[in-house]
Structure 1
Amino acid sequence: MKKRVVSVFMALAMGLSIVACGVTAPEAPAAEPVAEQKEETAAEQTKAPEAVTPAADAITLVMAEVNPLDTIVGMTDQKFKEEVEARSNGSIIIDLQASGVLGSENDVLDTMLGGGGTIDMSRISAFALTSYGGQKSMLLSLPYIFTSRDHFWNFATSDLAQEFLQEPSENGSGVRGLFYGEEGFRHFFTVNEIKDINSFKGMKLRVSNDPIMNGLVEGLGASPTVVSFGELYSALQTGVVDGAEQPIANYKSNAFPEVAPYMILDGHTLGAIQVIITDEAWNKLSAEQQQVLVDAGKAASEYNRSISEEKENAVLEELKADGVTIIEVEDITPWQEAVKPVIEENIKGLEDYYQKLVDMK
């Protein structure tokens, strides 16, 4: 018992001696808090953007998209929406209506150009304005005008692109372009097996009544057949048409491989796209809000450029794995020769612009 008491007193004395000398025990490393901080940072990096709370006096702009949201163009639309709403602090809300619920591109354009304000914005194919007086935009759909994606982006980021975007407003169409993007090269796909350019002779190929596409199809020896995009699946299924053309991602997302499982990678056109807004909607915005749309458009365009090729390549591999027959084109020369007449016919009066585009490669 005495030994235990002595031991206790000795321990207390040693402890007091340490404190008196100013010595402290080392602190244990804060391992747990650091780990928690890392986990929180990772979560912040992966979480979806928080929804922007609309301002009390927010302006809502209805935006139309014919394709689903999981396509290249749908993803670009969503990026644009997020950028606009965040940059405007909720003073502009984009009501994005996808999957063609507001109609085909032509239906949407008719509504926008006809006034009334039910559709304020739309993502369209760049050449969709050709039938509405967009002569400069028409050049973007000429067969084989762009030799690569880089060639297209040299144009899309140039002063010439801004001139093209403003053409419809300047000619009184009632809409203006905000920015360009692309959805990959467009290729033909068919119900029955094809091998090369000669396989198209006598076929009925779907077109949207665009003069450039009509000339291209005729150059291939096929018959251009007008079918709305919303009716294309059933037209392929029932034999109204033997084939059509779309970018790879749109071909898959619209389930066309189910009825037309042959695709030939001719890359006749790069699928240039643009987002447009009616002058009526544009004029409702303050100068600051207009600049928000311009800046958001630049961000969405850059995003589009970053995802397009990667997503297209991924979809192509999925199609091959699903059993779609993909035909490579080893020599594009016969295709280029076949479409020379349609190019020569449609650049009349626009030769200088055509040459500027060609020289940007």
Structure 2
Amino acid sequence: MKKRVLNAALAALLALSLTACGGSAKQETKAGGEKQETKAASEKGESAESKAEDASSQGAESASSTDYQVNEKAAADPKVKLVMAEVNPLDTIVGKTDLKFKEAVESISGGSISIDLQASGVLGSENDVLDSVLAGGDSIDISRISAFALTSYGGEKSKLLSVPFTFESREHFWKFAQSDLAKEFLEEPKEKGLPIRGLFYGEEGFRHFFTKEPAVEVKDLKGRKLRVSNDPIMTGMVQGFGANPTVVPFNELYSALQTGVVDGAEQPMANYLSNAFPEVAPNLVLDGHTLGVIEIVISDKGWAKLTENQQKVLEEAGRIAGDYDREIAEQAEKEVLTKIKSSGVNVVEVTDKAPWKDACKKVIEDSTKSQAELYQKILDYAS
């Protein structure tokens, strides 16, 4: 019951601060390519598409209004529907970004393109979706993924985006995300021969550690069992802290914390609150070790359904949705942090990140040495 109360509180908070809306059913979601469980949408026979329409009709709008100019040539093209997958609910940062993308595509195309946005993991985890698309499936056209999810499929450039302490600030990330270098990163799947292409980047906030027992400094994590996904960079980071990386599926994390299988984990703040983790791990350390970089990708089969004019619509809508994500992410994070603090969570502000970064030195070097020059280009955007 506590979990439902917290989930409801977060949904109300985000609806107020971001004019967001979404389903009220209890949901458990995950970030990246981790396994996920959801009890939403289908319980009442509601599709994520209908939820998206409800969100729009109840006032889901951008932080700054957008007047869409219809691409008349695209509007005259044959109608096509694209299915889009999202593992998170629509009232999250990424869900709102998806909605903005859908809105922009359908408006600019004059209705010749419609997007069936299936949220809350009803189409599977990010890895499930990628596996299906890369295997030649045609039931999903577009997906919002965590950038590091492509690492498992040979994404060496994408891997650099999840290296600890790569981005010093949001401004640093967005200088990269809106650069020509980012365009090269988005093209990596095509270079690797994968049947997908990147459309645009965004972010869902910095990731932080939360623990059952208080932790103030990085040395306090030594010997503790910290939950990780099956990701070598995250595992290396936790080992650098002197802690014991423990792989636990995301949908089992609450019980793993509750029973002591693990002593802590890490997530963006919104995920920490929405999944009721404060109940079982009421200590949040704002170390901001990684920025949650997201990417919207489309399959080759989905891209081929579109005319050249319609493809241009997706590219333009991607720029609009990326700008929108930039507008809402920081404010959403501030609102969530206020809620977390007011709920009694012990929040530790990390003012000196040098010890944390030093502890990650080995995994940073190991993960970037084969692409040192490219990695330095990313770092240079901080200046």
Per the normalisation by structure 1, the TM-score is: 0.82
Amino acid in the other structure paired with 1:156: A
Amino acid in the other structure paired with 2:164: P
Contact 2:205-2:330 within 8 A present in 1 as well:
yes
Summarize deviations over 1:303-349 as a string: whole Å, max 9, x none. Answer: 01111111101110011111111111132111111111111111122
Within a 5 Å distance, the mapping from 1:1-361 to structure 2 comes to: 58-361=79-382
Amino acid in the other structure paired with 2:112: S
- Identical columns (%): 64
Return the alpha-carbon distance in structure 2 between the equivalents of residues 226 and 106 of structure 1. Answer: 16
Deviates more, 1:153-162 or 1:269-278: 269-278
Give the unaligned 5+ runs of structure 2: 1-57, 62-74
Contact 1:201-1:221 within 8 A present in 2 as well:
yes
* C-alpha displacement of 1:67: 1.4
* C-alpha displacement of 1:71: 1.1
Return the alpha-carbon distance in structure 2 between the equivalents of residues 239 and 107 of structure 1. Answer: 29
Contact 2:225-2:245 within 8 A present in 1 as well:
yes
Amino acid in the other structure paired with 1:83: A
* C-alpha displacement of 1:235: 2.8
For the structure 1 residues 203 and 102, does the alpha-carbon distance in structure 2 shift closer, same or farther, using more than 3 Å as the test?
farther
RMSD of equivalent CA atoms: 2.0
SS at match of 1:350: helix
Amino acid in the other structure paired with 1:320: K
Return the alpha-carbon distance in structure 2 between the equivalents of residues 137 and 241 of structure 1. Answer: 28
Corresponding residue pairs, total: 313
SS at match of 1:117: coil
Amino acid in the other structure paired with 1:291: K
Moved over 4 A (4+): 46-49, 54-57
For the structure 1 residues 341 and 283, does the alpha-carbon distance in structure 2 shift closer, same or farther, using more than 3 Å as the test?
same
For the structure 1 residues 47 and 102, does the alpha-carbon distance in structure 2 shift closer, same or farther, using more than 3 Å as the test?
closer
> Quick check: which has more Rg, 1 or 2?
1
Return the alpha-carbon distance in structure 2 between the equivalents of residues 90 and 350 of structure 1. Answer: 43
Amino acid in the other structure paired with 1:105: E
Return the alpha-carbon distance in structure 1 between the equivalents of residues 142 and 381 of structure 2. Answer: 29
For the structure 1 residues 62 and 181, does the alpha-carbon distance in structure 2 shift closer, same or farther, using more than 3 Å as the test?
same
Deviates more, 1:126-135 or 1:88-97: 88-97
* C-alpha displacement of 1:233: 2.7
Contact 2:77-2:307 within 8 A present in 1 as well:
no
* C-alpha displacement of 1:181: 0.6
Return the alpha-carbon distance in structure 1 between the equivalents of residues 60 and 169 of structure 2. Answer: 33
Contact 2:83-2:118 within 8 A present in 1 as well:
yes
For the structure 1 residues 56 and 256, does the alpha-carbon distance in structure 2 shift closer, same or farther, using more than 3 Å as the test?
farther
Deviates more, 1:334-343 or 1:249-258: 249-258
Contact 1:60-1:95 within 8 A present in 2 as well:
yes
SS at match of 2:198: strand
* C-alpha displacement of 1:66: 1.5
Return the alpha-carbon distance in structure 2 between the equivalents of residues 279 and 225 of structure 1. Answer: 36
For the structure 1 residues 47 and 220, does the alpha-carbon distance in structure 2 shift closer, same or farther, using more than 3 Å as the test?
closer
Give the unaligned 5+ runs of structure 1: 1-45
Amino acid in the other structure paired with 1:268: H
Return the alpha-carbon distance in structure 2 between the equivalents of residues 73 and 325 of structure 1. Answer: 26
Return the alpha-carbon distance in structure 2 between the equivalents of residues 256 and 119 of structure 1. Answer: 31
For the structure 1 residues 165 and 221, does the alpha-carbon distance in structure 2 shift closer, same or farther, using more than 3 Å as the test?
same
* C-alpha displacement of 1:207: 1.8
Summarize deviations over 1:276-307 as a string: whole Å, max 9, x none. Answer: 11112112211111111110010000001111
Return the alpha-carbon distance in structure 2 between the equivalents of residues 354 and 294 of structure 1. Answer: 26
Return the alpha-carbon distance in structure 2 between the equivalents of residues 331 and 127 of structure 1. Answer: 26
Return the alpha-carbon distance in structure 1 between the equivalents of residues 113 and 127 of structure 2. Answer: 26
SS at match of 2:111: coil
For the structure 1 residues 353 and 212, does the alpha-carbon distance in structure 2 shift closer, same or farther, using more than 3 Å as the test?
same
